[in-house]
Structure 1
Amino acid sequence: MTLLDVRGLTVRTDEGRVLVDDLGFALGAGERLGLIGESGSGKSLTSLAVLGLLPPGMTATGSARLAGTEVVGAREKELTELRGARAAVVFQEPLTALDPLMRVGRQIAEPLRRRTGLKGDALRKAVREALDQVRLPDPRRIARAFPHEISGGQRQRVALAMALACQPDLLIADEPTTALDVTVQADMLDLLDGLVREHSMALLFVSHDLAVVSRITDRVLVLRHGRAVETGTVADLVHRPRQAYTAALVESARKLESALDVGAGG
């Protein structure tokens, strides 16, 4: 079953500048696809476009069908029904997704209440379970805290708990570990991998780091200047890249891995 079907997706600014150009890919139920490219390659805009979340001043054309519903040109009511229930997103910096003036527990409770109708003790229990499944210590304390009162790694786990609360079919992770230090990043990737597997979700993972993408996805789509450069399995792209740009990404990832190994050894 094709969960996400993208064809001829193009994103333009109001001035006519093309940021994503005639992009196409498909993602089936339970599959994992990595979108990779340097800053400005269009990978994050692609992830926003397939949820109807492009910022003002940008417009999408083409087609992006999510669970059978056309996202491009859809009304906000249709998009609201898709988000959370069928697809959810985790961003690089959770402070952009979390309300700084609202306690963590309430931020998780709101989408749960809307989607499930839970109230009172049942809703509070569901919030604690959502925090517990992302391995946050002392869920009751975290639920009472404001976002600024917990660490960056804990905020990212809260954002993941919010995304998973309504059990979406597709999780979009846009650079979810970039702002974290190396140790926290590894823990977050292990957690994400386990939860995607446990819930049988499809995963669209956006990153500039091929080493990170290769840890958690099966296939990779390489973007450059808004266009698809190359696609294939992780093994194909790492060991047999067909394009010079992909080969450069692979070499950059290897140099970074070597530098981290040297640093750890020192």
Structure 2
Amino acid sequence: MSTQYEALKNADLYSTAFRVEPPTELGERKMTPRRPGFFITRSLSGATDAERAALKTATASQAEAPAANQAPDGSAPAPAAEPASTSRLLVPAQWGLVPHWVKSASDGKLRATKLVHVKSDNVGTSTAFRDAWLNNQRCIVPMQAFITDDYRSGGKPKPTRIARVDGLPMGVAGIWARWQDEDGSELLSYAIITINANAHGLMNRYQAPGSEKSMPAILNEGAYDAWLGSSAAKAKEFLRAYPAQKLLANPVEKGRKNPLGI
């Protein structure tokens, strides 16, 4: 899978699509490894005073927000609507996981570029992700679209933008970690969980020929809180293929230096 995705295009989408307090600064649109982004979770263990205050504010505002339950069509029934009072916290963090056991910041930087996503089959067993998975450090990564490569014409792969047909943001399953330096400084980071897409009606067309096809594990809106609150033993039940008919693929326009077209 590509190591690029597009963050939300405006701050209001954080509240309307995810029922979280919007960030004071929108941040970067083009997300690549080690760039600062956002993830959504219920709480952070050992949260700082600032994080507790942010969570308190988010809880108060979300209690008045309508529940989101626009689940995509698929073989499984749509999840029930979520209670509007469920609290969620929007957390600024680095894209590219830094495991808690990393000994130095330099080592963390090297690892992070290779830990931007993890296969669903490996998330509970991989050395880099196992502890976070077993500690239920799951999150939702808000994104407008992600980039994949199209090799079908031969030659140089063509970047392709994958987004929802209805134009709404995606809530992608993720996992987060907290690393602490000897001086007490902390770094929050996250990775995206991917699933096999060999049999997917859209995503099986992309990525390198002969390779395993993959795609982000896009969650149904009605399952957001269930994903965040489930046990490690049950969490993988949420990692399913998003219906192909609900996704739209568009080649990135030629002549744009930015492959995201933004």
TM range (shorter): under 0.3
TM-score in terms of structure 1 length: 0.25
**Per residue, is there more helix in 1 or in 2?**
1
Q: Which has the higher contact order (CA 8 A, sep 6+)?
A: 1
Mark the structure with the bigger radius of gyration.
1
